Structure 1
Amino acid sequence: MPTDPVSALSQLPATAAITYRGMSGPPPNAAFTLGDILPTSADPRVASENFTSERVAAIVTMTGRSIAPMSRHPEELEIAILPGTLLLPAGAIAVPGLTNPVVLLTEKGWAPELPESRAELERTVIEHVTHAMAQPAVPIFSPGRFTPPRRSAGQ
């Protein structure tokens, strides 16, 4: 039985999904490789801590690991993205009601569970975020888990 979190998560099946994370600061403008586990949520409201984050990122993953069934808070719908995952910036999607567009990040590749075209992906993200915005606030069990604190000027 693996004892470190990355080895344990690596044993779980990969989950192709659109998942979300809150962001602060400018969106990335170049590909980057994750150095640590990146907690995300299939629910944009959870990921953005009730839309209090500066930005929302939609991440198209083929290799994330759904940990919701074994989580202490399964309603967070957590999908962990493993270290070493390469994420590519893929633009932004304007969603009515949000100040900043949703940042789109993606892994290379495609899976049958994912939208087949850019237009379908944009529609899906707009639907997910719009639906989440219409829902009541959710409890935030671990502040900062899915969204970093806002950066202040000069940081």
Structure 2
Amino acid sequence: MAKLIVIMGPAGCGKSVVAARIAAARSATALDADDFHSRENIAHMAGGNPLTDAQREPWIAAMEKELHARLGNNENIVLAYSGLRRAHRARIRACAQRSLFIKLQVPIAQLQERVAKRQNHFMSAQMLPSQLAAMESPASEETIVQIAAHGSLDDVVESTLNAIRETFS
């Protein structure tokens, strides 16, 4: 049975790089939610404007479609995805019979520093506060594990792999 592992958190938490490393370690396919945004949404965000839920709708629908197809073909997936909204997480979770969400926790100052250093990415440092404000707490969701991600990449990946092993053992 195919598994869906979602590496989530705000811009700068390391979700894309962690998802790629987890996918490689587990012989899974890495997908990045950023790749499902429309050109219009990317331009909107690049202009420093947060997306509305209505603007997010086609993005979520595109991810759902891709996940259903890949998981339906018994392909294990590791998705890097912000996961801001609880309702959107539920829709992504519903794509798989077995799923786990890993929320990477990084102090705000470190997130700001990381995002400020990025080059050629549509998500600017000025967008981080709106993204943090839009993040709905995953505290009551059972398939979410929170991992401190302010240490070394190797430590974050190892902690994530341990959480995955515990969940899917």
The normalised TM-score by structure 2 is: 0.27
Looking at secondary structure, tell me which structure has more strand per residue: 1
The normalised TM-score by structure 1 is: 0.29
Which has the bigger relative contact order, CA under 8 A and spacing at least 6? 2
Looking at secondary structure, tell me which structure has more helix per residue: 2
